[in-house]
Amino acid sequence: MADVVASRQPKPTCDNCEQPEPEPEPEPEPEPEPKPKPEPEPKPKPEPEPEPKPELTCNKVHGVQAGETCYSVGESAGLTQDQFLDFNPNLCCEKLFVGQWVCLEATSGCHD
């Protein structure tokens, strides 16, 4: 009989029931912005190789005398210091010695 009594009682309504507050749904995490790919650094253009100087043939030589320097020898021959050094590419002016042969006039080995 207890079963019959229980079934006749009205069902409770939610007007007087306390329901737990629904938990708010978490906001979706914003997707991180993709990092921009770094632009590749431009490769430096290779410097052009300097054109090789033509080989010179010495046409006039001079034997260094006491007290002479590269500058004085070149100047007495009417050469600029650059010309004198171009004619004597392996010359070390700091170690110039008496009797050393230096070139005072040269031409390139190529003649067209």
Q: What is the set of domains in the chain, with CATH numbers?
A: 56-108 (3.10.350.10)
Q: Determine if the pTM surpasses 0.75.
A: no
> Which candidate, 51, 76, 73, places its Cα nearest to that of 64?
73
Q: Across the strands, what pairs with 58?
A: 106
Comparing 10-14, 41-45, 61-65, the range with the smallest average pLDDT is: 10-14
The tens digit of pLDDT for each residue in 54-91 reads 788 999 999 999 999 999 999 999 999 999 999 999 99
Mean pLDDT, residues 32-55 taken together: 77
> Which candidate, 62, 64, 61, places its Cα nearest to that of 98?
64
